[in-house]
Structure 1
Amino acid sequence: MAIKRKDFQKTSSIILEFLLKLPDEETSSRLRDTLLHGLHFLQQYYLILQKRDKEQKPLQWTIERGLSPLTPFREAPDKFEWPWIDVESNKVKQTIPKHSLNNFVNLSPIIVAVREGDLRYVKELLNSEPELIDRVDSFGRDLLTYAVQYQQIHILRYLLLECKPSANINIQANDGSTCLHRACYSDDGQQCNVDIVRLLLENNADVTRQDVHLRSPLHWAVLAENTDCLKILIEYNVDIHTRDADGMTPAMWACHLDRYDHFRVGLLLFFLHYKS
């Protein structure tokens, strides 16, 4: 009898659910480690069969593209993404309902200065009008978020270190995201910047904040091609059990998106060594 993808899904789903309910105590540590090793080898065996599938015909089992054997055995979105929206884009403005255009404002000079990396002008504006530190765009994104998005680490450092306590590092945009979410996110035009993530965490960025889809920065970090941001977040004892609106933990997303290194190097390492 051939092994099918759903067999992997059912098995891994049961194990993951059990692990989430397993108390974090010394008496259960050996069981937890054994189950985690089982998931690890389950994923490895899946990759072996996947490679065999590509090399041999006829196939003895089938794999749907983009799915991991650890994908929860239920309906789940193929992916999630949150690309940066340019407020000044005419294309963006054309998609906004007419009744909402009255509330849609152009970027203020200080946000533009942050985006362009003009530290001198940022200081000049804040010295003359300190309340500008709270300025946001039409999507509720603040100066810190713009500094993160456009990789302006010198301005970010100035806002965090020299504008305390005025700069609120944990302010949430309209979508519920914080500057830490944005720092951990990767897309075509933006990659996770390890130095920026560490700077935010060193200045008390909240790793537990969730966006409107209940996703924490750890959820966003699993989208990155590398595991650098994931490793840094793990150093700050993030909650790996947090589920988003789809019922998915970061570990589930890592598996669902075939981020094998994220599961093996990042989340699995955390499971094995957290509070050891």
Structure 2
Amino acid sequence: MEWPDSGPECQLNCPHEHHEPHKQESQGNSREEQYNNSDQATSPVEHHSDLAFMEDYSNWDIIKATQYGIIERCKELIEAGYDVRRPDKENVSLLHWAAINNRIELVKYYVSKGSIVDQLGGDLNSTPLHWATRQGHLSMVVLLLKHGADPTLVDREGFTCLHLAVQFQHMPIVAYLVAKGQDIDTPDMNGQTALMMAASRIIGPEPTRFLIKLHASVNAVDKVHRNTPLHWAVLSGNVAALSALLDAGANVESINAMGETPLGMAQQNQNPWIIRCLLDATIDRSRGHFLLKVLKSFEKYKIILLFLMAVAVIWVTGYIADMESDSWLLKGILFVSTWLVIQLMIRRFISMQTYSYIPLAFLTASLFWMVITWFIRFLPDMPESDFQIPFALSITGCIYYFYKTWTAGPGYLQVPEQEQNRTIVTLAEADCLDPRVFCTRCLIRKPLRSKHCLVCDLCVAKYDHHCLWIASCIGAWNQRYFVAFLFFLFTVVIWMGYGTIVYWSLHCTTSYEKDGLWLFLTQIISCSPWIVWIFLLVVFHSSWVTFLLLNQLYQTFYLGLTTSERVSLIKRAHTGRSLGLKQNPFNHGCRQNLVDFFQCRCFGMCTPNRIDWTRQYSMDFEQPRANGFQFV
């Protein structure tokens, strides 16, 4: 999720009958259409001094001067006796016009001269804080709240500032209001909470997930229809919001004033996707399904269960291929039957959260059968210690560094809720509540080189990438273990490939030079289908291991970059804004990069730089190259 810029960019709204943005989401209109700025002559201006050269503003009235932020003209008129509280003919005060156009200095001046901070005005009878919220001016919202503005006041439509911020998707303002103490479940005049509004009016996962992150109640009911947020998501056909609510534990059996459950409403609307999601959730939570209940109770053992299933699938595949039957039709039927059974088990018993562990289970099961194959099939042909000891060291190093990569963790960034609120308030009041600085999902200030992982749904210090084969992120704490794991896994597949070639040379009576390619391949397959199957696994795993290992070594030691940073720079290169892959403040040269990465001292000959990337927010360390380089 990206937030719009909340800086001091001026957006002028001209005095005509649609001077306030009107709520039209139910018709699906865009924000630009909602604002209905028909008078294009008075467009936004960046600097009022530029306008002064084009037109003499000495004759402007105070409304126009306020809109354009001509503070000298405004002061002149106020000192001449203009009442700062007097509204214009449309009942709009000067403070309203200054707030909607983000005129910070003018607001400070008007308040000092006695402006009413919560003065009502305009067609919607709203306050300046409402106007600033609709426009998404976070700095103005902060200023008005400091001067005593009340965010709980409602406009003519019954919306508080929180509801307006959600309606127009100004998430920085939502976060700031909640951090300042506004109740996230405050209802509007119709009894709808902000979460209900998000689920019913804004198609997509955001801001529903964001509000849930702020602890909005997923089972609250409105006053009129007694609908929960889940009911509203069903009515609007908002599949993404519905999924977020179900993930948060929303009650699928709640009944509204008409006696309808969310599933009943979905069946009336005949939305197949929503019906399927609700049915799955209902069955999953049903007390009568003993098997599903047992499987859910063993959720913490999902990795072991997936590993055992992968071990069984690899063995069954190899066993079918190794059958003495010469009927390829029979083997084909067995292969298809096995594939169908696997698909049935995955769809029926494996949740979406568990899918990410399937590559990990496949890798570990493949290593298991490689080791078994080595000791049963290859060991008799290569009993010498020159072969067995290196292989044993390789597999031991592979298992050890896999364990270290998994257990060390990448460096997830998590803070208590109280600290989250303090961070939001501090950044907002410093006008720095920006997605480059603040994570909208974790509600934390992001250190340098960190990034939010969408799979783990957490921020990671010095984020490199999310590795499918490890089912975990690679970051500041475990990257060196990951590189070591890749190296030892690479040596394992090399030894397995060598063992396969030795086995074929000793047990297969054919050769490429003697019989040609086709006969050579058919003889190899018929000689030992299990060895061929294991060799295919070796080839598959060696391909991605080799790529990842070389890529990690090149990026880490030569460029001093993470994978995420390199991808970002490559994208910028296509737009012509790249500063060069090697010119960055994190590249200290190959030797020093190596020393820093492994934190090795070499008996005092080397001095590694120790940087805690979980708390490094500024570039206050040595930068031998390209000061000011930024990753966006």
TM-score normalised per structure 1: 0.56
Q: Report the equivalent of 1:154.
A: 172
Aligned runs of 1:30-179 on 2, under 5 Å? 83=26, 106-129=125-148, 132-161=150-179, 163=180, 166-179=181-194
Q: Report the equivalent of 2:206.
A: 195
Partner of residue 207 from structure 1, selected from 218, 241, 246: 218
**Deviation of 1:227 (Å):** 1.2
Partner of residue 266 from structure 2, selected from 248, 254, 257: 254
Equivalents in 2 of 1:83, 1:262: separation in Å?
A: 20
Q: Deviations over 1:99-121 (max 9, x none)?
A: xxxxx961111011111111111
Decide whether the 8 Å contact of 2:220 with 2:229 is kept in 1: yes
**Deviation of 1:226 (Å):** 4.5
Q: Report the equivalent of 1:185.
A: 200
Equivalents in 2 of 1:257, 1:221: separation in Å?
A: 12
Decide whether the 8 Å contact of 1:135 with 1:142 is kept in 2: yes
Q: Report the equivalent of 1:62.
A: none
Q: Which has the higher contact order (CA 8 A, sep 6+)?
A: 1
Q: Deviations over 1:68-104 (max 9, x none)?
A: xxxxxxxxxxxxxx949xxx99xxxxxxxxxxxxxx9
**Deviation of 1:195 (Å):** 2.7
Say whether 1:273 aligns with 2:284: yes
> Which one-letter code corresponds to 2:198 in the other structure?
A
**Deviation of 1:160 (Å):** 2.3
Equivalents in 1 of 2:172, 2:279: separation in Å?
A: 34
Q: Deviations over 1:119-160 (max 9, x none)?
A: 11101000111x512222234321111011111112112222
Note closer, same or farther for the CA distance 1:105–1:223 as it changes in structure 2 (3 Å cut): closer
Equivalents in 2 of 1:179, 1:229: separation in Å?
A: 13
Q: Deviations over 1:161-185 (max 9, x none)?
A: 3x1xx21111111211110000001
Note closer, same or farther for the CA distance 1:217–1:140 as it changes in structure 2 (3 Å cut): same
Structure 2 gap ranges (5+): 1-24, 28-34, 37-122, 286-292, 297-632
Equivalents in 2 of 1:268, 1:160: separation in Å?
A: 34
Q: Deviations over 1:3-46 (max 9, x none)?
A: xxxxxxxxxxxxxxxxxxxxxxxxxxxxxxxxxxxxxxxxxxxx
Partner of residue 242 from structure 1, selected from 254, 271, 277: 254
Equivalents in 2 of 1:175, 1:218: separation in Å?
A: 17
**Deviation of 1:260 (Å):** 1.1
Decide whether the 8 Å contact of 1:140 with 1:172 is kept in 2: no
**Deviation of 1:219 (Å):** 0.3
Note closer, same or farther for the CA distance 1:141–1:226 as it changes in structure 2 (3 Å cut): closer
Partner of residue 234 from structure 2, selected from 209, 219, 222: 222
Give the match's secondary structure for 1:111.
helix
Q: Deviations over 1:247-272 (max 9, x none)?
A: 111101111011111011x2012123
Equivalents in 1 of 2:259, 2:225: separation in Å?
A: 10
Identity %: 30
> Which one-letter code corresponds to 1:177 in the other structure?
Q
Decide whether the 8 Å contact of 1:210 with 1:217 is kept in 2: yes
> Which one-letter code corresponds to 1:233 in the other structure?
L
Structure 1 gap ranges (5+): 1-81, 90-103
Decide whether the 8 Å contact of 2:204 with 2:238 is kept in 1: no
Say whether 1:233 aligns with 2:245: yes
**Deviation of 1:234 (Å):** 0.6
Equivalents in 1 of 2:196, 2:173: separation in Å?
A: 18
> Which one-letter code corresponds to 2:187 in the other structure?
Q
Q: Deviations over 1:186-216 (max 9, x none)?
A: 3xxxx32423111111111111211111111
**Deviation of 1:225 (Å):** 3.8
Equivalents in 1 of 2:219, 2:212: separation in Å?
A: 12
- Between Structure 1 and Structure 2, whose CA radius of gyration is higher? 2
Decide whether the 8 Å contact of 2:200 with 2:238 is kept in 1: no
Give the match's secondary structure for 2:169.
coil
Q: What do you get for the CA RMSD once the two structures are aligned?
A: 2.3
Equivalents in 2 of 1:238, 1:226: separation in Å?
A: 15
TM-score normalised per structure 2: 0.25
Give the match's secondary structure for 1:171.
coil
Equivalents in 1 of 2:227, 2:187: separation in Å?
A: 13
Equivalents in 1 of 2:261, 2:232: separation in Å?
A: 11
Equivalents in 1 of 2:249, 2:238: separation in Å?
A: 19
Decide whether the 8 Å contact of 2:199 with 2:238 is kept in 1: no
**Deviation of 1:229 (Å):** 0.7
